[in-house]
Structure 1
Amino acid sequence: MTASMKRALIVIDVQNEYVTGHLRIEYPAVELSLSHIGQAMDAARAAGIPIVVVQNSAPPGSPIFARGSDGWALHPVVAGRPAEHYVEKTLPSAFAGTDLESWLREQGIDTLTVVGYMTHNCVDSTVKQALHIGFAVEVLDDATGSVPYSNRAGLVSAEMIHRTFMVVLQSRFANVMDTATWLAALAGQPLPERESIYASNQHALQMRARMA
């Protein structure tokens, strides 16, 4: 990591709904991602990186994330650790209808490291909006997670959703890495580089040609 970068760790929607509720994270296994989220928060604290905790809310009576319900509550991995700022949201992006951007600007933050749930919903929305408004973004791919979906458009596993979104984010929107790599970077090791749409496509075509 370079000295010119000023980071914040954005911890998105680590709530009981994703652990013991209706939307239990399946891939990566929720126990694994929770452990990595805790590691990232502890490392950020030790490095002086401010932590922002984001919590999703729905009206009372909603089937998921109803304010005041057990599913709405922050999971103990996050609730038991301190944070510099708290954001309550009602839309997928942590920026939508919140003070997150203004708070980050006030702190001089230029780079966001994102963890939490779900990969394909609130993490993805937050990452893309962050890029659009001028922040550099990192995503820790083993500190996020997905659930399976089935609807009129088809059936897809949690693993396929997660892997696909990580590849797409790495191609343009964020520097995707695992938690161990990020922790090593905090200790002075070089960060891997974010790739490009073109490079990602060319690499895929080359791999396909080699397998033909």
Structure 2
Amino acid sequence: MTESLDENYARAGYHARQEWGSRPALLLVDFARAYFEPDSPLYGGEGCVTARDHAARLLDTARQTGTPVIFTEVRYIKGGADGGVFFKKAPPLKVMEWGSPLGDLVEGLERRPEEIMVTKQYPSAFFGTSLAATLTSMGVDTVLLTGLTTSGCIRATCVDAMSHGFVTLVVSDAVGDRAEGPHEANLFDMSAKYADLVTTSEAVDYLQTIQREQ
């Protein structure tokens, strides 16, 4: 009998759990209105709505526990010259040009003045930005990753977070995509090689436990 994929990965030792750190930060990636407006070419449907609702709960906990909170957004100059090949490859990114309301944060995840916004032009929140330096200066050792979309900017950010030496926790019900297939496939792959998957409830418990221990 041919072994299943799960059996094959288990035999190889994939999906190993990491030791979570004591200085986490919450990263909310690209919760833009473009993913929630039905007329938008980036509309993601119920998967994105579910991610937003869970992220809002985790955001409340992060603020209550004093956990650093960092948002990201995608913005381009008109015509997308600063988006390079990515902007040309993915025409829907035109809705993220400066001045478009579709690039604004969705209602329910408003940023406070003291919280950082990282503006990016490419999938990873680390590529071409000061995010890694910012997290390092804060003493952060663990990143809780939420946002949109699972198969795009979340996966790219996850790989780069791990590559920069941060223990990465992908909050599986606080990331979303327009279809279940890409969402689940990318969660599986991130769990196998780059990050631990946690639910919002587990992430909340983690932040509250860290607060009690400090």
TM range (shorter): 0.7 to 0.9
2:209 equivalent in structure 1? 188
Q: Secondary structure at the match of 1:188?
A: helix
- Contact between 1:27 and 1:162, CA under 8 Å: does it hold in 2? no
1:201 equivalent in structure 2? none
* 2:175 is equivalent to residue 172 of structure 1: no
State the 1:4 CA deviation.
5.0
1:16 equivalent in structure 2? 33
**Distance change in 2, residues 1:3/1:167 (3 Å):** closer
- Contact between 2:167 and 2:195, CA under 8 Å: does it hold in 1? yes
State the 1:64 CA deviation.
2.2
State the 1:86 CA deviation.
1.2
1:109 equivalent in structure 2? 140
By relative contact order (CA 8 Å, sep 6+), the higher-ranking structure is 2
Please give the TM-score of this superposition, normalised by the length of structure 2: 0.77
State the 1:3 CA deviation.
9.0
State the 1:88 CA deviation.
0.3
2:45 equivalent in structure 1? 26
Q: Deviations over 1:93-141 (max 9, x none)?
A: 1111111111111101111001010111111001101111111100111
1:142 to 161, 169, 173: 173
Aligned AA (1:54): T
CA–CA separation in structure 2 for the residues paired with 1:32 and 1:128: 23
Identical pairs, percent: 27
Over the aligned positions, Cα root-mean-square deviation in angstroms equals: 2.1
Aligned AA (2:31): V
State the 1:69 CA deviation.
0.4
1:49 equivalent in structure 2? 67
Aligned AA (1:163): E
Q: Secondary structure at the match of 1:78?
A: coil
- Contact between 2:65 and 2:208, CA under 8 Å: does it hold in 1? no
CA–CA separation in structure 1 for the residues paired with 2:98 and 2:160: 25
Aligned length: 178
Aligned AA (2:56): G
- Contact between 1:19 and 1:25, CA under 8 Å: does it hold in 2? yes
Q: Secondary structure at the match of 2:76?
A: coil
2:12 equivalent in structure 1? none
Structure 1 stretches of at least 4 aligned residues deviating more than 3 Å after TM superposition: 80-83
Q: Secondary structure at the match of 2:188?
A: helix
- Contact between 2:50 and 2:176, CA under 8 Å: does it hold in 1? no
Return the structure number with greater helix share.
2
- Contact between 2:162 and 2:168, CA under 8 Å: does it hold in 1? yes
